[in-house]
Structure 1
Amino acid sequence: MSGPKTEAVALADIEALIADFQASGMRELHVRSGEFEIYLSTDASAPGLGAQAVAVRVEPIAAAAPAAAAPAPTTAPPVASAAAPSSLPDNAVIVRAPYLGTFYRAPKPGSPVYVDVGSVVTADTEMCLVEVMKLFTAVRAGLSGTVHAILATDGAMVEADQPLFAVIPG
């Protein structure tokens, strides 16, 4: 008798998650808890659970060059390891935030960070979490290489498409 009730509660939780996703304005959401995993997207062409990563935009730093022309901020950057796009190597690839949310470098407070400058990553490597409305999404590298710079502050709010990491392919 506990099986059907547990199954009904799980179904209700999934339905609530879907309703929250639809109301949030997010484009994609990937949740994993134990053996349960769900991927939601508003993009009909999204690859789904078989994909290597949550769909994040990665682009060579050369493509982001116009952003480097923006006026310099009047205050120091919030992260010591954050590198200005002009100081990154030409072959650096930027891993960007999938949507607005809070950026976390570690799975929970006090835990080691997912990656640091110098970490070797593969396309499937989890680099950070972005949280919105108590739902956490792992951002994966999307390419193989070495983390060159961390471009966001742990615990800070990030915007959709904001640069999070610079990775040197290889």
Structure 2
Amino acid sequence: MSDTIDTTRALLRMFQQSGYGDIHVRSGDFAIFIARHAGQVNPLRGSVVRAGVVPVAEAAGMPGARTIIAAPHIASMVSAIAPGSAVDVGDHVARIELLGESIDLVAEQRGFIQDVAAQPGQLLEYGAPIVTIIATH
């Protein structure tokens, strides 16, 4: 049997034991999406209300304070706005992809983008820094 069939069988066994409602795996030119009715929510697909926000230096929101927008999940980097761009609360500053779905990360303070630490296509670990924002008044 081929490695792909053996791998798929192993994946199906793990999926059956997990109780998850769905799973989506992509590797190179191979992709598989499996779903079942009434399964549990996959914790990696939880909706992201807030990005991982890490205040640095002074209190968040104070002029000059730095805030790092970090990866809220293991994901792939899609895009980010350019360093030097002005942002307001709620503005989209980066986009990541998680299990085939795009997630927009938003600024939680007014300021400007100081740094973008991740490149498009990069695999992001949980908590990896993506964008640094310098607060303005």
Scaled to the shorter chain, the TM-score interval is: 0.5 to 0.7
Counterpart position of 2:66:
92
Deviation readout 1:7-35 (Å, 9 max, x if unpaired): xxxxxxxxxxx9338553226325xxxxx
More strand by share: 2
Counterpart position of 1:24:
42
Indicate whether 1:163 and 2:137 are aligned: no
Counterpart position of 2:115:
149
**What's the offset of the Cα at 1:168?**
0.3
More helix by share: 1
Counterpart position of 1:59:
54
Q: Which of residues 96, 107, 118 in structure 1 aligns to 2:84?
A: 118
Aligned pair count reads 96
What is the one-letter code of the residue matched to 1:24? N
Q: Percent identity, please.
A: 22
> TM-score normalised to the size of structure 1?
0.50
SS in 2 for 1:26: helix
CA distance in 2, matches of 1:20, 1:157: 21
Q: Which runs of 5+ in 2 are unaligned?
A: 1-19, 24-39, 59-63
Counterpart position of 1:102:
76
Deviation readout 1:23-76 (Å, 9 max, x if unpaired): 53226325xxxxxxxxxxxxxxxxxxxxxxx3122222239xxxxxxxxxxxxx
**What's the offset of the Cα at 1:91?**
2.4
CA distance in 2, matches of 1:20, 1:160: 21
Distance 1:160 1:154, change over 3 A: same
Judge conservation of contact 2:45–2:98 (CA < 8 Å) in 1: no
What is the one-letter code of the residue matched to 1:163? P
Indicate whether 1:137 and 2:132 are aligned: no
